Structure 1
C-alpha cells in the first residue's frame, strides 16, 4: 500500500523539525494509551510509531537498542513502560541531553546494571566535548552495522577534543537523505561498493536528485558512485568533510579533479585510527576561531595598559564610586578583552597579518568566496568601501532606485553616475519588489545604443529585499554579461547572509550563482548554446533588436569575466554583534584593484575597531559552518508554521493574514506557478522548481502581515506590539508589518506571537460586535483608507540637464555628486512648501523643482528624491499622502529643499529662449513664403 503524504520523510523543509514533531505525536499517543488502555488508543500509538521509525534510520540517538526496547514494550502492551521510555527519549531529544549525558543512551536494564553500557562519551567530563555524528555509507549487510559502530567507538581517546557517533546507511539515496535529515552530521565516510536505490518510500527524493543535483542512476557506473555521492552531498551541505575509502586505485581517485570535493582518500580500512583523527581534525578546522581564541588568551594575561583606552582591564569602572554598576552589568571579561593594541596575540583589522587574516580566510571558505573583509561599522560602510574601491568619477552604475541609502551615498562619494532602474511596484501594500531583468537589460541596451556602454562599470541590486524578494542571481548575471562581459556586480545581501547555509537558497546568492556559472562556462554544451545564440542575434548584440529584451541571453564563456561582490550584515541573520558586517569577494580581476580596495578600507574603516565585534564575526562563522544548516532550516520551518497558524486561525485570519507568494510576486515572474509556501501537498520538489525557474522567489522567513484589514497602519501596529506586548520588529508599510524568523527564534516565540494576535483580534472583534453602527462605519472607513485608498508609488523621473553629460540624450544617468555638493551653498538653494500652489505649478511645467538632497520617508525607506532629480507631480502627490512621522531630508516647517533656478541657469535659459522665439518665428515665415 502506498504511503500517505504524512508518512513520507521527504515532504518537509526541515527534516529535523518534522522528526521532533513525530516524537511529540508519539509521546502524546502513548500517554493517552496509558490512561485509556483501549484498542483505539493503541492503534494511534502504532500509527505514530510507523510514521516516526523511518526518520530514526538516519540518526545515532536513540539508537537501535533503545528503539528496540521501545518497540518491544509497545508490542507487549506495556502501556506504562511504553509511556516512560517514549517520554524519556522525547525529552532527551528536545533538551539535547543525549549529546552530553551517557545515561541517556542506556536502556532501563542497563541503567539498573543488567546489561552492557552503551556510552557515547569517553571518560572525563562529557559536557566539555562537543558532540557530532558521522554519516557512514557502507556496502556491508545491515546485520554487520552494530559491530562496525562498536569498532569505531573503540577508537575514542581521552585526548579527543570532540565525541562523535556513527550513523550507517547502505545506499546512495539514503546517504543523500541522511545528509539532509540529520543536522548533527559533520563528516561523511564513504566506503566504495554500495548500491544506488533507497529502501525508503522517497519518490520526491528521486525527483530532487534528478532536478537539483542532476543525478540519474542509469547515467552512473557503480564504481563512480562514491565520488558522485561526495559531489551531491557537497552541493547540499558544502561545509561537511567527506572521506572516501576505496579498494581500487586510491592514488588515481585522489588525483581526479572530480574528487576535489573529497577531503581525503584512504585505501580501504588499512588506517582506522588515521581515519578517526582525520574526522576530528576536519571538525577542529571549522571549530577554530583564530581571533576569538587569541582574545580569550589575551584577556587572561596580566597586562599593563598605557594606551588610550581607559576601560581596558576595567579598573576605571570597578574602582569607581559611581559607575561600578556598569561593571556589574557587563561583567569583568568584557573589559579584560578590550584593547587598542594590535600586538600581544591580537591583530590589525586594517592590515591583518595574523589571526584576523586567518579568520577572514576561514570565512572565505565558509561563505564560498575568494576573500572576506570584516567590517565593524555595518554594511552601510561595506557598501561604500566596495563602491569607492571600484568606481571612478564619471563611471555609470545601473542601480535599483529602491536600494539602501548607502549605495546612493556611495555614488556621491565615488563620483559615479547612477542610472536608476525601477522595481516592480506593489501599490496596494505601498512597497516595491525587485527589478525585473528586462528593465536591467533595457538600461544596458539603451546605454549601448547611445554609445555609453563603455562607461558602465557596475550593477547594484538588493538580494534579498527587506520584504523577501530574492533574485534569480544566475540569470541576472548571465543576461547582463551577455551585453557587457566585464560588468561588476555588487549584491547587497545585508538581510540574506544566512542563505549560504540552505541548499534551497544557496544558488540564489551572489556567490552561489558564481559557483554555478563557473561550472557552466566550462561545459562544452554551454559554448554550443552560445554559438546558437550568436547565429540568431549576432555576436555583437544590436541594441535596437527588440527581440533581445524577451530572449534569455547568455554570455560568450570565452570572453566573460566573473567579477562579483556581496555585502552581508552578519549581525542581521547570524550570531554577531550589532554592526558586524562582511564583504565577500569573488572577482577574477581582484589583483588589478587590490590596491584601491585596500585604500578604500583605510578610508572608511575605523582605526579603533571594536574587538568584541571582530570576535563575534569569527564566532558567527564557526557556528554557521557547524550548525548553520540546522538553524537555517529550522527558521524556515518556524516561518511556515507561523504563516500557517495565522492564515488558518478562524479569528486571527478574520482581521490579519500573512501575504502569500502569489500576492507578493506577480505571476509573470512565477512560471513555476508557486502560489504559497503553505499550499496543501507542497514538497521539496515544488520549492526546487520555483527556485530553479522563477525570476523572483519569496524568502519564507519574511512574513508580511496585513494589518490594515484590522484598522491598523503599520507604524501604529508596530507600536502596539512593542509597548503593550513586548514584541519587536523593524519594517512597516502603510498597511502591513514585517515579521522575520531567524536562527534565534523558537517555537515558544511563535506561540507567544500567535497568543498576542489572538488577543488583538479578539479586541477588534469585540469592539465591532458590541459597538453601534457608527463604530462599524468608522472601522470600515479606516480599513478602506488603509487598504484601498493607497497612494501611487512614484518612479524616478530624471536628472536635470545641468547634471547630464548629454542633455539631449535618451539615457537617464546623471552626476549626482555635483548636485549633492551644490546644496552646500545656501545661496544656491531655496525652499518651497509641499502644500503650496507654487509646488503644483512648477511641478507641472514651470521653473523646475530640482531636489537639493535625499528625501527618504520611513516607510518605505528608500529615496523618493535624490540630489539633482527633477521632481514631478506624482512625487509631490505621494509625499502629501504620506502619513509617516519620519522623513529624512525633509523639514515640514521649511518645505522641500531645492537647488534654485538661478543656480541651475534656468533664468538665463528662459531669457535666451524668449529672445530666440521672435527670430525663430521670422525665419519660419520666410521659409513658408519661399515654399509657396
Structure 2
C-alpha cells in the first residue's frame, strides 16, 4: 500500500502518507535538478507537480501561494528558480520547519513587504513559538475565494492566542473525508452548509473506502450532508472538534440528536471571533494536562519538606559528594517535582478529588470510556485490580490459558475458578494465536447445559495478543451476551492502547466494540433483528446450530459491562509501569466501592509523581497528534515487511509472517491475505476489519529467524550485543519486532542494513565452508523449523480441586492448590528426565502441578496449580531449549502436590 518512487500519486494514495508525501517532494526535486542540468524532461516535472498538487490541496503548507509560484516558474521555464523553491518546500516538509519559521512560507520575491492578511501562518515576525495546527474548512464557496477566506481567518489572530492555526479548504464530502485521513495536523473541522458530495478529483479508491464503511450509500440517501459528514469524520478521527455554520434554523439543528458529534453550532459567520476563540478553546481543552501543569507549578515554588522523602527538592543529592552525579544525570526538575504530599496543588492517586481526578476524566474522554483509573504499578496490577473488584470466591472466569500471568495470579488472589479456553496453535512457530469464538461459545453453552451459567462472572481475553492477533471485539461480546446477557468482559489490551487513534484498529478495541454495541442497543432495529433470529432458530435450537450462527443478543436484557486494561507505557509516551483501567459498565455504581477497595489493596500509597504526570501528558499527545503518529508506526511496519520479504538476499534467510501464516483461512472470511499483496485495496482491509474473526496488528512483525539458523533467543542476543537493536519477545524460531510512535525511517534503514549484513555473512560462510558447512546449516534449520515440539493444551484440574464443577466444564479451584503448596510436607519433586515420570504417566497416580510453570518463550503457563500433568506437557518440557522457565527448578525437578493433601482427602471423603 505504500507508494513507491514514481508510482502514481493520485489522491487515492492517501494511505501512504506521511512519508510518501515527503518522498514525492524529493522525487520532484530530483526531476527538477535533472531538468535544470539539461539531463531531464520538463514534462516529467510538470507531471510530477500535477500529481503532488492534488495531494497538497489537503495541507495548509505549502499552500496556494507557493504552489502558484512553482507553477509560474515552471511556465516561465525558470528551471533554477523552480528547483530552488521546490527544494526549500521539500526541506520544510521533512523538517517541519514551516510550523515555526515564517520564512518557509515566503518566496524570495515577497520577503520585503507581505500584506497582513498574507502573513505566514506560524508566527508574526518577532513572536515567540506557539504550537501550530490546521483546521479543515468545508465550504460551498468557489475555490477562487478560498485564499481570501484564509486571509479573514488570519486577521482574527491575536498576540494572546495560545496556539496558531492555518485553514485548509475543501468543497465536498469526499474531499473532507480524504483530508481527515490524509492530514494528521488537523485539530478541528469547520463545516459550512451547502457543500457537495463528490470530489473534484478522480479518486476510485477513496470511493471504495467510502463504500466499505457505508458512508457513500448513506450519503446518497440523505439530502442533508452536514450532520452526516460530522458523524463520518468523528468515526474516522473522534479527537477532532467539529463546528457547524448554518443559515437555517440553528436552534433546531443544535437540538438534533444527530448533532452530538458537533462541538458548537453557529448561525453562519455572524460571530467570526467567537468561532476563532471556540477553535482555540477546543484545542486548549485537549492540550491541558491538569496534573502535569500543577506539578510544574509545584516545582517552581519554594517548599519546606518535613515528610519522608529525602530526595524531594534534591538537597540530599546535590549537596552530596557521593551521589551528586545522579542529580546531574537526571536534572534538578525531577527532584523539585518529587513529594509524598497530596496537598499544595497536588492530589492523591488513591482518593483523587482534584487534578488527578480531572486528568482521569480527560483520559476517559480521549479513550471513549466512562471512567479511567491511572495505575503506577503496570498492567499486571491493573488486571489484578479488576479481578479483585469483580470476582468473588467461587465465581467462574472464562480465561485464555495463553494470557499474561497476572490474570492467573489475580484469580488465585480473588478465589475465582478459571475455565481455561485454548487459542488456536501455530505449532510451526511455537506460539499460540487467539481463542476462536466457537471455543468461547462452547464454554458458555457447557455452563448453561450444566445449570452453572449463573456462576460465570467474566470472559477474560487478550487483545491484541503479543504476536498481533486482534479479536472482533464487537462480535465476541454480542455473541457472549446472547447466551449470558450480564456477563462482564475484561480485555487485556496492554499492547494496544495506541489503537484508539487508528480508524482501522479502533473498532476492534474493547471501547470501540462497546461503543458500537451501545449505538446498536439504542436502535429500534436491534430488537427486530433479535426477534427475527429467534424465529429462525426455533424454540430449542441445537448446540450445533447455536455454534454455527452469529448470535444476536436480546437488547432488552443486555447489561453492557466492559473493562479494558492498557499498558500506556508500551505504546504511548508514558514512563515505564504507567497503566490505565478503562471502564464502560452500566452497573459500575454497584461495584464502584469494591473497585476502590481493589485500588487500595494493590496500588502503592507512594505513587511516583513523574509517572502520573507522564500518563497525563501521554493522553495529551495522542489527542493532538496521535493519529499521525500511529499512521507513521503502521507505515514503518509496512516498510519493514516489504523490504525484508522482497529483498533478494535477506528474504532467503528471514521472513516477516503475514496473515496466511498467522491466521488460519477459516478465521478470515473476507478473504484478506496481506496489506502488501498486489491488488489489495484498503477497502479490502476495512472489510476484513469489520467481518473477519481475527486480523493482524500491522505494527507487530513476527520475523522468522530459524531459516537463518538462529533460535529466537540467540538471534535476540545477536541483535542486542552486536548491533544495539533491542526487542522483547522470541519464540523457538522467530523474534517479534514492534513499530511504535517512537520509530523513524532511519530505524528501518538500520534494521535492513543489519539483516543484510547477517544474511551476507551466512552466504559467505556457506560458500567458504564447503559441503560440511552446508549440511550443518541445513540440519540446524531443520531442527528449528521442522523438528518443533507440539504445543500442549490445558489438560484438566485434578478432582481434588474441582469443587462443585460439572461433568462437562473444566473449571477448577486453583487458589486451594496454590496455597496448598505452601506446606512443604504436601509437596514432592521429580526430576524432568526421571523414569518415575514416565511410569506415573502410564500407571499413576496423577502428577498434579503445585505451581505455575512458565517457559520464556512461549511465555504462558504450561502448568498451573492443581492441573494434572500429561504426556504432551512433559514432551514439550523435555524438548524445550530455553534458559528461562519461571516456576521450575532444574536441580530439583517438577514441584508436585502429593495425593494426601488436605484438599485431596476432603474430596475423597466427600465422594
Are 1:633 and 2:661 counterparts?
no
Q: Counterpart of 2:750?
A: 752
Are 1:574 and 2:575 counterparts?
no
Change (3 A) 1:435 1:152: same
8 Å CA contact 1:122–1:158 kept in 2: the answer is no
Q: Counterpart of 1:796?
A: 794
Change (3 A) 1:662 1:353: same
In structure 2, stretches of 5+ residues that fail to align are: 1-5
Distance 2:89 2:125 in 1: 24
CA shift digits 1:279-323 (9 cap, x unpaired): 000000000000000000000000000000000000000000101
Tell me the CA shift for residue 52 of structure 1: 1.1
SS at match of 1:771: helix
Are 1:445 and 2:445 counterparts?
yes
Tell me the CA shift for residue 185 of structure 1: 0.7
Q: Counterpart of 2:196?
A: 195
Q: 2:695 pairs with 678, 694, 697, which one?
A: 697
Q: Counterpart of 1:686?
A: 684
Distance 2:89 2:543 in 1: 66
Tell me the CA shift for residue 428 of structure 1: 0.1
Q: Counterpart of 1:132?
A: 133
CA shift digits 1:426-455 (9 cap, x unpaired): 000000000000000000001111111110
CA shift digits 1:589-647 (9 cap, x unpaired): 00000000000000000000000000000000000000000000110011001110011
Tell me the CA shift for residue 682 of structure 1: 2.5
Tell me the CA shift for residue 127 of structure 1: 5.0
Q: 1:11 pairs with 13, 16, 41, which one?
A: 13
Change (3 A) 1:266 1:845: farther
8 Å CA contact 2:12–2:205 kept in 1: the answer is yes
Paired residues in the alignment total 905
Are 1:49 and 2:45 counterparts?
no
Distance 1:755 1:348 in 2: 49
Q: Counterpart of 2:374?
A: 374
Change (3 A) 1:684 1:315: same
8 Å CA contact 1:100–1:126 kept in 2: the answer is no
Distance 1:97 1:383 in 2: 43
Change (3 A) 1:115 1:248: closer
Are 1:247 and 2:235 counterparts?
no
Q: Counterpart of 2:294?
A: 294
Distance 2:414 2:520 in 1: 34
SS at match of 2:558: coil
Q: Counterpart of 1:160?
A: 161
Q: Counterpart of 1:142?
A: 143
SS at match of 2:589: helix
Q: Counterpart of 2:642?
A: 644
Tell me the CA shift for residue 9 of structure 1: 2.2
Tell me the CA shift for residue 214 of structure 1: 3.6
Q: Counterpart of 1:363?
A: 363
Tell me the CA shift for residue 217 of structure 1: 6.1
Q: Counterpart of 1:23?
A: 25
Q: Counterpart of 2:71?
A: 71
Change (3 A) 1:581 1:126: farther
Distance 1:20 1:520 in 2: 41
Distance 1:675 1:216 in 2: 26
Change (3 A) 1:808 1:73: closer
SS at match of 1:341: coil
Tell me the CA shift for residue 12 of structure 1: 4.4
8 Å CA contact 1:11–1:682 kept in 2: the answer is no
Are 1:417 and 2:404 counterparts?
no
Give runs of aligned pairs for residues 823-838 of structure 1, distance below 5 A.
Answer: 823-838=821-836
Tell me the CA shift for residue 742 of structure 1: 0.2
Give runs of aligned pairs for residues 296-311 of structure 1, distance below 5 A.
Answer: 296-311=296-311
Distance 1:905 1:256 in 2: 63
CA shift digits 1:850-899 (9 cap, x unpaired): 00000000000000000000000000000000000000000000000000
Q: Counterpart of 1:605?
A: 603
SS at match of 2:707: helix
Distance 2:774 2:156 in 1: 74
Stretch moving more, 773-782 or 113-122:
113-122
8 Å CA contact 1:26–1:49 kept in 2: the answer is yes
8 Å CA contact 2:799–2:907 kept in 1: the answer is no
Stretch moving more, 10-19 or 156-165:
10-19
Give runs of aligned pairs for residues 103-252 of structure 1, distance below 5 A.
Answer: 103-111=103-111, 118-123=119-124, 126=127, 128-216=129-217, 219-222=220-223, 224-252=224-252
SS at match of 2:461: strand
Stretch moving more, 143-152 or 281-290:
143-152
CA shift digits 1:701-756 (9 cap, x unpaired): 00111000000000000000000000000000000000000000000000000010
In structure 1, stretches of 5+ residues that fail to align are: 914-932
Distance 1:908 1:263 in 2: 64
8 Å CA contact 1:5–1:11 kept in 2: the answer is no
Moved runs in structure 1, 4+ residues, more than 6 A? 904-913
Change (3 A) 1:218 1:312: closer
8 Å CA contact 2:33–2:83 kept in 1: the answer is yes
Distance 2:624 2:580 in 1: 19
Tell me the CA shift for residue 661 of structure 1: 1.1
Distance 1:906 1:257 in 2: 61
Change (3 A) 1:186 1:752: same
Distance 2:169 2:343 in 1: 48
Q: 1:784 pairs with 776, 782, 791, which one?
A: 782
Tell me the CA shift for residue 216 of structure 1: 2.2
Distance 2:633 2:72 in 1: 36
Distance 1:444 1:599 in 2: 29
Q: Counterpart of 2:3?
A: none
Change (3 A) 1:537 1:188: same
Give runs of aligned pairs for residues 465-864 of structure 1, distance below 5 A.
Answer: 465-538=465-538, 545-806=543-804, 809-864=807-862
Distance 1:26 1:364 in 2: 44
Q: Counterpart of 1:900?
A: 898
Distance 1:359 1:907 in 2: 53
Tell me the CA shift for residue 905 of structure 1: 7.5
Distance 1:127 1:6 in 2: 40
Tell me the CA shift for residue 524 of structure 1: 2.4
Change (3 A) 1:113 1:252: closer
CA shift digits 1:316-364 (9 cap, x unpaired): 0000010110011001010000000000100000000000000000000
SS at match of 2:350: coil
8 Å CA contact 2:15–2:182 kept in 1: the answer is no
CA shift digits 1:492-532 (9 cap, x unpaired): 00000000000001000000011111111222222111112
Change (3 A) 1:483 1:5: farther
Distance 2:29 2:324 in 1: 50
CA shift digits 1:17-44 (9 cap, x unpaired): 3322211221222223223x14x44333
Change (3 A) 1:910 1:331: closer
CA RMSD across the alignment: 1.8
Q: Counterpart of 1:341?
A: 341
Are 1:91 and 2:91 counterparts?
yes
Change (3 A) 1:453 1:660: same
8 Å CA contact 2:709–2:777 kept in 1: the answer is yes
Tell me the CA shift for residue 534 of structure 1: 1.1
Stretch moving more, 282-291 or 520-529:
520-529
Tell me the CA shift for residue 219 of structure 1: 3.7
SS at match of 1:320: coil
Change (3 A) 1:630 1:910: closer
Q: Please report the TM-score for the alignment, with normalisation by the length of structure 2.
A: 0.97
SS at match of 1:712: coil
SS at match of 1:892: coil
Q: Counterpart of 1:926?
A: none
Distance 1:466 1:48 in 2: 42
Distance 1:498 1:337 in 2: 28
